[in-house]
Structure 1
Amino acid sequence: MSLLPLRIALFYFLLAFTAFAWCLVSLVCAPFMTFRPRYRFVVQNWCRCAVWLAKTLVGLRYEVHGTENIPTRPCVILAKHQSTWETFFLSAYFEPLTQVLKRELLRVPFFGWAIMLLKPIAIDRDNPKAALRQVAKQGHERLEQGAWVLIFPEGTRVPVGQPAKFSRSGASLAVNAGLPVLPIAHNAGMFWPKAGWGKRPGTIQVVIGPAMYAESEGPRAVAELNQRAEDWVNAQVSQLETQGRPTP
């Protein structure tokens, strides 16, 4: 009899327990810290713990390719969104980092209160025009403060094998700030599906692409940059889903 279901149950129990305990500690300690140490204390350490629990209990290992493509200065990250795993991983890998997330998450007791300490860009998905303005304004402020801005341009988790159009908000933010976008592809959804609690052991491949700059100005530059990033991510994800790892 496979012990994987029991390991998955234990994983979720420890994930919830550590999240609750760490949020309580963070609410007491984090307000007295500046942003960067606060981020490391509240987010980076706990997300590393979450990734470690997934590896140890569920067998979700990972390999990262393309680290040489990471710019020295923080920019806009456009990442594929298939599961919860990449949220943990990217939040631990890049620091300090601010995320575009739905406003409702801030209302979750303890968890949402802790997240509010980290300058998230919490948007109202029911008001897309206002959300775009908010991403542009607050995202620019975060970039100027030296934080990476993580955007899942598909807007939600997308099941394996179902590409979705990218929102232009991330590309627009990068163009207006005079910074590149950093595309990131992975195949986490093959091991941690969007639907259900089930997971399967394996090695997640994370591919960090070359930083992409706008080649002109104005709306046309935004559209072109966004399409270039979308094409690169979709091509990499398709390859990972069929071959299991990137081609050198």
Structure 2
Amino acid sequence: MSTLRGFVFYLALAATIIVLTVLLLATKPFLSLDRRYESICRPWAETVLWLLRVICGIRLETQGMENMPAEGGFVVLSKHQSAMDPFLLTAVLKRPACYLYKKSLHWIPCLGWAIWSMDMLAIDRAKGRSAFQSFMKKGPEVLARGWWICLFPEGTRVPPGERVPYKTGGARFACATGTPILPIAHNAGHCWPKNSVAKNPGVVRVSVGPVIETAGRDPHEVSREVEAWIENETARLDRC
């Protein structure tokens, strides 16, 4: 049944992606990025979460929303268990989310074109250090327009119960620019497993942590603090 629900959900998701792409490309010449995000991208993410609830029996529960400021620039560092993660952040964050992602995603029909149209942080990982330098150059421009930069410091989706070392790129950028970090933990991998069509009914709990200040701090120290909070909080969510 979970696999069947997954197939039905993906069919519905594909239809919403086509609509999303048409709307974003059609409005690109005359609507601002903020307007397109708030009137198209955020409602789309909320629609996807609604489809998960109706088709797959997956509900969303948020905790710690009082820790999330409504204004100011932030680097959001989030747990990465599932392909569900960008939908969660796009729907939950109080400011538009700008993702750091692989430039190769632009080649994906429809979805890649939609991502391209939103002027986010595309990097070519094959270029190594120059990719990070590009991030360091473009990131402040994103913050200046009032968007929050979102990264997944694990670098890949990690199934529940497993751990990988956190990458320090997000913490290094935050420390270099003095931008506070907003950590996010969740347990989405239980309901939307990695590399699986099946969608398991249940509650996805998203927890927003206290803001972590970075000004004048060592990025490796900050990265360890972020990792400790996210992993400990994820373990707590798993016990709920």
Sort the TM-score into its range (normalised by shorter chain). over 0.9
- Among residues 58, 64, 67, which one is paired with 2:65 in the alignment? 67
| Partner residue, 2:232 | 235
Percent sequence identity over aligned pairs: 36
The residue aligned with 1:154 is 154
Find the aligned partners of 2:32 and 2:128 in 1 and give their Cα distance: 31
- Name the residue aligned to 2:4: 6
Question: 1:178 & 1:137 partners in 2: Cα distance?
Answer: 14
**What is the TM-score with the length of structure 2 in the denominator?**
0.94
- Whether 2:42 is the aligned partner of 1:53: answer no
- Root mean square deviation, CA, Å: 1.5
Single out whichever of 130-139 and 187-196 deviates more from structure 2.
130-139
Cα distance, 1:175 vs. partner? 1.5
How far is 1:215 from its partner?
6.3
The corresponding residue for 1:120 is: 120
Alignment gaps of 5+ in structure 1? none
User: Cα–Cα, structure 1 residues 41 and 107, in superposed 2: closer, same or farther, change >3 Å?
Assistant: farther
Aligned residues: 238
Q: Does 1:76 align with 2:75?
A: yes
2:88 is aligned with 1:89? yes
The code of the aligned residue for 1:147 comes to W
Distance 2:111 2:40 in 1: 11
Mapping of residues 156-195 of structure 1, within 5 Å: 156-195=156-195
How far is 1:127 from its partner? 2.6
Gaps of 5+ in 2: none
Q: Matched residue of 1:32: which SS?
A: coil
1:205 aligns with 2:198: no
Equivalent position amino acid for 1:235 in 2: N
Which structure has more RCO (C-alpha within 8 Å, separation ≥ 6)? 2
Determine which of 24, 27, 41 is the counterpart of 1:26: 24
Q: CA deviation at 1:224?
A: 0.8
Q: TM-score, normalised by structure 1?
A: 0.91
Once structures 1 and 2 are overlaid, which stretch shifts more, 88-97 or 183-192?
Answer: 88-97
> Contact 1:139/1:149 (CA < 8 Å) preserved in 2?
yes
CA contact (8 A) 1:23 1:111 kept: yes
